Every structure is written in structure tokens, then in C-alpha cells.
Amino acid sequence: MLPLQDSARITVANALQVEWSEIIPPTTSLYIMGNPPFLGDNTRGADQLADLRNAWGGDRVLSRMDYVTGWHAKTLALFTNPQYRGEWAFVTTNSVTQGDQVPRLYGWIFEAGWRIKFAHQTFAWSSEAPGAAAVHCVIVGHTQHSKNKPRLFEYEQPKAAAAEVPVKVGINAYLQDAKNILVEKRSKPLSPSLAVVEYGSKPTDDGNLIIEPDQYAEVMNDPVAAKYVHKYVGARELLHDEDRWCLWLDGVDPVDLSRSRTLRDRVDAVRRFRGASKASATREYPHHHLFRQLAKKDADYVCVPIHVSEGRRYYPVALFGAEVIASNANFVLSDPDGFQFAIMSSSMFITWQKAIGGRLESRLRFASTLTSMFHRGCERGRPASLPV
């Protein structure tokens, strides 16, 4: 009964560093539940990484694994002891049920004989506490009993009320009513008809190679600089049809660099900015007139924004000519005949993206190694063909 009174027994410790079997006496009716800390791979510190390594053990690759998965690891480890039987559930970041974390986390969970007993799909965390985390969460409960009928709750919007939906097949690791097929990332397309996807061009220039709308007229008044002005498209420009330009100086005539004050001043500013960088690779990059990462296409290509709203019926992509420069807020792939554009802008693709892709809060997040092509799946740890 809540609130806990006489039955309360509280241990104050780091849950990922202590042995749970030393705290919890053997029992066949154990329920583990909680709301562990939310830290992604890009926000955790050295201490949290040490906690994760201790929880997971061995040489397991922890890149992109959320801090919360340490509690999954400790729970599974405890239940390998036959003296402990029960069920478990956590409130977690929704990213553990999205993208490339799923096969690494749930491959182990399913192989250990667990199934999902109930789940709440993504919802917005709310709290009256000051400084409450603004995160999107899921709740997932696990059992080893096969007789329980799974229960699945969805949210029309992240802040809407939960609505239970009927489950016909079962709840898979992506919290869908479907078979447990785990989609692993890969660096090459399965089909030769699908192009390799790569990041767009990254300036790392403090804005000095970029031309904003209020700067366009001034730059174009410099006839030398004007020769190197290209349309520049980030995710915002693609999604909202806004204008932006850049100075693309790959192959620039050295004489032009010296006789154009616009080019000279902007390249000098890039040199100073990169020289002050904490990253040695940026400081040592010798071509200050160039973008730090070049991904210009020589022919027509598809431009794919990395993040888009989850409410879109189709994933918004654009077909550009070689003269348009796509920023690193997008992915790019060659498309000489328009086939890639047709695939990427289809209802089939956005269905695939929503089902297994990663997200930022609830927004869709495209990944070149996971959602850009059809993949081989793994059903409960065994190879399986993924139906198209």
C-alpha cells in the first residue's frame, strides 16, 4: 500500500555499482520498478559511463546507449539467479525503443526469455516539481509468462490522455502490435537500386562562408565573390522554402582570393575561428576557404532533412541540381533518374521511418545507417527477412 510506512526499507547507494542480490533477499514474487535517470550518450559524463560499463559488464559497445539501460542490465542480471522470479517495468526515455538502441537492448531481453507485458507509447513527461525534465518517455513492463494478454496504450499527441488499443500479435520492441523483428544498422544498402546516403556539407566557419538574406545584395555587388555564390539549403530552408546562400570556393582561382575584399575578409575570419577551436582536427585543417566537410554532388541529388515533424503524412525531401549546396542538417544521395526521390517521399518510407527510426522528442529523425534503406531484421536473435 502507498504511501510506504512500516514496510519501507530504503538503501541509499549507486544502483549501478552495488550488487542487487546483497540488498534484495531471494524471492519468487519480486517486482522491480522505477524511474531511472534520463541521460543520453551525448549528455552523460565519465562517471555515468563507468556506471554503465559496470552494469553491462564485458566488452559490450555502449555507444548511443542511454544511461537508463543500466537498470535493464542490472535487472536482467539479477533474474538470471533462479532464486529470483518476478516481473519488472521502468519509465524510460523513449529512445530505448527507437533506432539502433533497440536491437542491442532488446536482443538481450528477448533472448533471456522476457516478453513485453504492457507498454505506454511515447508521452510527454509532466511534473509540478521546479526544473522538471522536458522529456518524452515510454513505460514498458516485462514478464516471462506467456498467458498474460499484452496491453498497449497510445497517445494521439504526446500530452494527450492514454488510450488502450487492442493487441492482436503482441507488443514488439518498437512498442507496436507486431512480431519481434529487430532492425540492425548497416553501412551498405541491401538493394543495388538504393543509393548510399551521406551527410551534407559542413562549414564549421562561424557563419563566414554563409550568406544570409540581408547580406546577399552586398556580396553580389562584389563581382569576384558573386562568381562563387551558390544556393545553400539547410533543413529549415528545405522545410519552409526559405532563401540562404553560401560561398563555395572549391577550385577557386587564388588570384580571386586576393583581389576580392569580400572573399579575403571572410576567409580570414574562418581562419581565426578554426584556429581557436578546441578540436585539433579543426585547427589543423589547412583549407580555410573550404567547408570543413565537402559533400557536393556532381549531378541531381535528393536532399533529406535529418529532423521533421511527426505529423507529416510524407517525409519531406527535395530534388536539387548540382549547383545547390546542402548543409549537414540534411543527408544527400545521388539520384540521376528520380528513383530515390520516389522512394524517399513515399507513404511506404515514412511508415518505415515512424516504425523503427529514431526521434528527437517526438520528431522523426532520419538515420543513414538505419532508415534510409530496407534492412535485414533479426527475429528474437535469429536472422529473418523483413517484409516490404
pTM above 0.85, yes or no: no
Q: Are 79 and 28 in contact (CB under 8 A)?
A: no
Tens of pLDDT, residues 331-343: 998 998 889 899 8
Cα(214)–Cα(129) distance, integer angstroms? 43
pLDDT band of residue 63 (cuts 50, 70, 90) is low
| Average pLDDT of the chain, as a whole number | 86
Half-sphere exposure of 224 (CA within 13 A, CB side): 13
Q: Are 358 and 98 in contact (CB under 8 A)?
A: yes
Which pLDDT score is estimated for 100? 81
Residue 267 reports pLDDT greater than 90? yes
- If we measure between CA atoms, which residue out of 273, 225, 219 comes closest to residue 244? 219
Query: What are phi and psi for residue 192, nearest 5 degrees?
Result: -70, -10
Return the residue matching grid coordinates 523483413.
Answer: 386
Q: Which of the pair, 1 or 208, is modelled with greater confidence?
A: 208
- If we measure between CA atoms, which residue out of 198, 193, 191 comes closest to residue 376? 191
Which pLDDT score is estimated for 79? 97
- If we measure between CA atoms, which residue out of 339, 342, 209 comes closest to residue 274? 209
Which pLDDT score is estimated for 59? 66
Three-class HEC string of the chain:
CCCCCCCCCCCCCCCCCCCHHHCCCCEEEEEEEECCCCCCCCCCCHHHHHHHHHHHCCCCCCCCCCCCHHHHHHHHHHHCCCCEEEEEEEEEEHHHHCCCHHHHHHHHHHHCCCEEEEEEEEEECCCCCCCCCCCEEEEEEEECCCCCCCEEEEECCCCCCEEEECCCCCECCCCCECCCEEECCCCCCCCCCCCCCEECEECCCCCCCEECHHHHHHHHCCHHHHCCEEEEECHHHHHHCCCCEEECCCCCCHHHHHHCHHHHHHHHHHHHHHHCCCCHHHHHCCCCCCCCECCCCCCCEEEEECEECCCCCCCCCEEECCCCEEECCEEEEECCCCHHHHHHCCHHHHHHHHHHCEEECCEEECCCCCCCCCCCEEECCEEECCCC
- In the chain, the amino acid numbered 125 is W
Cell numbers that stand for 13 in this block: 547507494
- For the chain, the domains span 20-182, 198-379
Residue 276 DSSP class: T
pLDDT band of residue 378 (cuts 50, 70, 90) is very low
Tens of pLDDT, residues 144-179: 988 889 999 999 888 889 999 999 999 999 999 998
Residue 213 DSSP class: G
Which pLDDT score is estimated for 143? 96
Which of 43-47, 244-248, 381-385 shows the lowest mean pLDDT across its residues?
Answer: 381-385
Which pLDDT score is estimated for 385? 32
Half-sphere exposure of 64 (CA within 13 A, CB side): 13
Tens of pLDDT, residues 78-137: 999 999 999 999 999 888 998 888 988 999 999 999 999 999 999 988 766 666 666 889
Which pLDDT score is estimated for 46? 81
Residue 237 Cα to chain centre, angstroms: 21
Cα(133)–Cα(114) distance, integer angstroms? 30
Which pLDDT score is estimated for 381? 39
Phi-psi region of 380 (alpha: psi -120 to 50; beta: other; left: phi over 0): left
Cell numbers that stand for 191 in this block: 538493394
